[in-house]
Amino acid sequence: MDAQARIEQMVVIALLLILVIGCFLVLRPFLSALLWALILSFSTWPLYDWLVRVFGGRRTLAAALMTLLVAVVLVLPPVAVGSSLASNVAQVVAMVRTLLAQGLPGPPVWVLELPLIGSGLHDWWRDLSEQGTAWTAVLDPYVETARDLLLSTGVTLGQGVLQLSLSVLAAFFFFRDGAAGARQLDSAFQRLAGDRARRLLAVAGGTIRGVVYGIIGTALAQATLQAIGLWLAGVPAAAFLGFVTFFLSFVPMGPALVWLPATIWLFSKGALGWAVFLAIWGFFVVSGVDNVLKPWLISRGSKLPLILVFLGVLGGVIAFGVLGIFLGPTLLALAYTLVQEWTAGTARVRSEPAP
């Protein structure tokens, strides 16, 4: 290659690099929304494909209906929760302060009947219930901190709603033009990496689906367990609160926004035993299942070891935010697959007899 051709090649490469950087800077504010749209459309593609067949191949109509369904399921519930969060937080804070000022209700009669510890527990409970003013002074700063935390969660929820709205809009175009785009992407990766590219794309797709189904499955489990615990404790509208928990499960510590106020309500009504039960049930069962069930469901979809799934979810969230829930396990799954193929190829080379 002569010097002139080499210079022209370098100029072309430089122009392409500038073009890529320029496109990245233009799309950078919308990258999160576009990634969410890609994840949503990919994970719900079987339903969209079924709608296309139902509507006789009219992809635009099917894409519009899918976009509407996604908006109803993902955008409307956070909007409803966020619009009432401020007033609900104020009511909960007022209820907690009233409870602290009044002190705990006196010990019930059955406490004295407990063997060995009944008398001492009764006296300790009675002294604790008579120290309402002292408890108010000690815990009031923590109540303010909890209120500020809940309100900041509302602000974060509002920002998430904006991102989701843009994602839903972009998902329409991913649905409508996704088949053609997938063929082009497959052709491009086939040129770059051959058959291995298809295997890696399959791994990435399976991981993303596993994460999405893991999140939805965990939300269903938390909602069901929440409704059972509330029903056992005698909290009104347990089924509806379980339905609310399903949507709050997508938010970190979301289920606690249901079982914690319900626990406080039971305390205020004097049902101390059921309040303690609901607090333990909510903290260890409802909120704790997220740390066990979600990694297990994700590992089933991606065939990734459970420890790597757990590290991928946690590390992904730390590194990339909410999107890291999907990116972390996907990156680890791709790296794990590449290492497996490399080690398998090395083992085959070593086992082949020398000519």
User: 10 Å Cβ neighbour count for 350?
Assistant: 7
Banded model confidence at residue 297, pLDDT cuts 50, 70, 90? confident
- Give pLDDT tens digits for 40-90: 888 788 888 899 999 888 888 988 998 888 887 776 666 665 555 555 555
Which residue did the predictor score with more confidence, 100 or 263? 263
Reference 243, options 266, 223, 265; nearest CA is: 223
| pLDDT attached to residue 218 | 87
Q: Rounded to whole angstroms, how far apart are CA atoms 92 and 90?
A: 6
DSSP SS3 for 104 = coil
Reference 327, options 38, 3, 15, 28; nearest CA is: 38
Q: Calculate Rg over the CA atoms of the chain.
A: 27
Residues in CB range of 295: below 8 A, 6 or more apart: 214, 306, 309, 310, 313
- Given a cut of 80, whether residue 287 has pLDDT beyond it is yes
| pLDDT attached to residue 225 | 92
- Given a cut of 50, whether residue 194 has pLDDT beyond it is yes
- Give pLDDT tens digits for 126-181: 776 666 555 555 565 655 666 566 555 555 555 666 777 788 888 888 888 887 87
- Percentage with pLDDT > 90 across the chain: 3
Mean pLDDT confidence for 298-327: 74
- Give pLDDT tens digits for 319-342: 777 667 777 777 787 788 777 777
Mean pLDDT confidence for 202-229: 82
Mean pLDDT confidence for 96-106: 61
Q: Rounded to whole angstroms, how far apart are CA atoms 41 and 178?
A: 8
| pLDDT attached to residue 349 | 44
Reference 104, options 241, 231, 271, 232; nearest CA is: 271
